[in-house]
Amino acid sequence: MKAVRLHKYDERPRVEEIPDPKIQDPLDVIVRIGGAGLCRTDLHIVEGQWADKTDVRLPYTLGHENAGWVLEVGSAVTNVAAGDTVILHPLVTCGLCRACRAGDDVHCDLSRFPGIDSDGGMGELLKTGRCLGDLGLDGSVLLQRGRVGSAGLASLSTWGLRLGLRGGRSMVTR
Ligand SMILES: [Zn+2]
Ligand SMILES: [Zn+2]
């Protein structure tokens, strides 16, 4: 697949061909990306300002504000299915550790942050977890118009909640 990869700080990221991600864990979800937002954080990452904090190994794929269609799910994923339109929670957590079970998933022992500390969504496919928001019945239309990704995560509460309510479905599922 094609992806936007950062090879070196203070250099332009490159569009290049890399292997497609594969389901490895029962809770993995592969999303076909419909939109990936670009925000100032990405520029700071390229400038190397986050290098010490994230300790990410270069090269990697940028993109932490992502939406798309579920392509494939691991054997233990029950909250989404292939074809669902989803917006991705930025932090991928396990849902099983003590912190997650206490509702404190920001302190998950196994969390990762695609686009920040691991491969993100500026590619054709992204492997994530099951923390996905349902974009509801109109999601495909929005993704095809390229409006969801560019709106980015900031849109989660506005677009998502509105669509979720209109579709009569809950917005954020785990
Ligand atoms: Zn951002
Ligand atoms: Zn956890």
120-166 confidence digits (pLDDT tens): 999 999 999 876 666 555 555 555 555 444 444 444 434 443 343 33
pLDDT score for 133: 63
What gap in Å lies between CA 172 and CA 95, rounded to an integer? 14
Ligand 2 midpoint to CA 91 (Å) = 11
pLDDT score for 114: 94
Distance of CA 143 to CAs 10, 62, 78, 86, Å?
31, 19, 23, 9
pLDDT score for 141: 54
Ligand 2 midpoint to CA 96 (Å) = 5
What gap in Å lies between CA 37 and CA 51, rounded to an integer? 20
What gap in Å lies between CA 84 and CA 147, rounded to an integer? 17
Ligand 2 midpoint to CA 149 (Å) = 26
Ligand 2 midpoint to CA 102 (Å) = 9
N- to C-terminal Cα separation, the chain = 28
CATH topology assigned to domain 2-173:
Quinone Oxidoreductase; Chain A, domain 1 (3.90.180)
pTM of the model: 0.78
pLDDT score for 167: 36
Ligand 1 midpoint to CA 88 (Å) = 12
Residues of the chain with pLDDT under 50: 147-174
Strand partners, 123: 3
Ligand 1 is an ion; residues with CB less than 5 A from it: 39, 41
